[in-house]
Structure formats: structure tokens, C-alpha cells
Amino acid sequence: MRHNGSMNARAAITPRPSIAITRSERKRQTREALLEAALELLEDRSFGSLSLREVARSAGIVPTGFYRHFDGMEELGLALVDESFRTLRQMIRSARAGRQDTTNAIRASVAILVRHVHEHRLHFRFIARERSSGVPALRRAIHNEIRLFSSELAIDLARMPFLGDWSSEDLHMVSGLLVDTMVSTAEAILDAAPDDPAAEREIVRMAEKRLLLIALGVPRWRPSTAASGGERGERRADGPS
């Protein structure tokens, strides 16, 4: 509620700057400026190639000022990872909650993911690149966020009556597969030309079909399918029989 657009805020501030912008608010703004400057510099570069000095300069502060906000570049990178995932998880969760049918839950989840990728394109480009990049702390943080996603989904799945007899490992297996499909969808959206809505519609359609195919396999899965050596699963998987 504090932000009514930057123009209004500035107009209100001008007469009494020392009152309207508190010190902590100014600090928050500089922190934001550093994060934004880093994200923009990262559009076509890897995080490992970015220097603290560049980020500070681009945000309009002196390099020593950087340390009032972050211990170093790694902490800034971790804050970007955190920003990228924070809202997405809540949104996908709310898309699933309360939906009785799989197809609609799939559609809603894919739609939210796509919208989110568009709205936070630079964040997702950063995530897509650093997920397998050379900065171990970031790689780990991103993997943990994705695993957290997958665990939350596994918990939701565990509550579904027809998954009551699934082992925890198998629930994680299917949630991991669903989340990986979402990750590769997000990456395909990023790689598609931004001015090609037909390509994007195809990515969305394929994502929905993939998720639906996985959902169709679920009722045929038996906890023993893989553990027993697969003799049963193998016949079941081979055709409509």
C-alpha cells in the first residue's frame, strides 16, 4: 500500500524528503537497485562472470556501499534465487488447491507458470542458467528450491485418496517428474522467441499433454511395480493388452 507508482511517490516526497523516505526505506530501495542491476547485467552472462564493482556501478553506488546490503556477490545471488521462487510456489499451490479434476489443475498450473515466466523473465533466465552453472552455492540453492517444490507437491498428492497406498518414495518420484516437466516447460518458454505466440501455444499444449500422460499412468502404478523386478509392470506397460 505504500507504493502508488513511482511518479506519485516522488511527487509526495519532494516537499519533505527526510520524513517521507525513512532511512530503512532508502536502504531497501538501494538493495532493490542492486538486485535489479545484477539481474539486468545477467541477461546474457553467467553469474560467475559478474563483478561486485560492475553491479555497484550499475546501481549507482560506490563498491564499498555494496557491503551495507550484501556480504558479497554470493549473498546477492542467493537473494535473487529466493526472489525467483517465492511467489511462484504460492501461486502454483493455490492453482492445485481445491481443484477436483486433473485436467483443470494441469491447465491452471501451466498457465500460472507461463505467466510467471513472462512477468519475471530475467529471474527465470538467471535460474535456467545458474541451475547448472559454475557457482556451487547458487546451484545448490536452486536445486533445493526445486526439491522443495517437489516435496510440497508430494504432500498434496499424499492427501489424494487414490494415492493412499503409495510409498513416500513413489510420491516423490511422480512429483519430481511433474516438477521437472514444469522446469523444462519454463526453459522452453524462455527459449521461444518472445514475439511468437504460436510457438508458445504449442509449448503450453505439449506441457499439458505431458502432465496428463503422467497423470494417466498414476492409476496403473502399483507400489510393487518397480520394486518386484518389474515383471508385472513390464506387461502392464506394453500395450492395451
Residues of this chain that interact with its own copies (CB under 8 A) are 44-46, 48-49, 100-104, 107, 128-129, 131-134, 139, 143, 160-162, 169-170, 172-174, 176-177, 180-181, 183-184, 187, 191, 205-206, 208-210, 212-221, 225-226, 230-231, 233-241
Min CB(227)–its own copies separation in Å: 9
- Which residue number, 116 or 210, has a Cβ lying nearer to its own copies? 210
- Which residue number, 61 or 177, has a Cβ lying nearer to its own copies? 177
Min CB(57)–its own copies separation in Å: 20
Min CB(80)–its own copies separation in Å: 16
- Which residue number, 158 or 177, has a Cβ lying nearer to its own copies? 177
Min CB(150)–its own copies separation in Å: 11
- Which residue number, 5 or 239, has a Cβ lying nearer to its own copies? 239
- Which residue number, 25 or 231, has a Cβ lying nearer to its own copies? 231
Min CB(118)–its own copies separation in Å: 18
Min CB(11)–its own copies separation in Å: 40
3-state secondary structure the chain: CCCCCHHHHHHHHCCCHHHHCCHHHHHHHHHHHHHHHHHHHHHHCCHHHCCHHHHHHHHCCCHHHHCCCCCCHHHHHHHHHHHHHHHHHHHHHHHHCCCCCHHHHHHHHHHHHHHHHHHCHHHHHHHHHHCCCCCHHHHHHHHHHHHHHHHHHHHHHHCCHHHCCCCHHHHHHHHHHHHHHHHHHHHHHHHCCCCCHHHHHHHHHHHHHHHHHHHHHHHHCCCHHHHCCCHHHHHHHCCCC
Give whole-number Cα distances, 70 to 52, 65, 102, in Å. Answer: 10, 9, 43
- Which residue number, 92 or 181, has a Cβ lying nearer to its own copies? 181
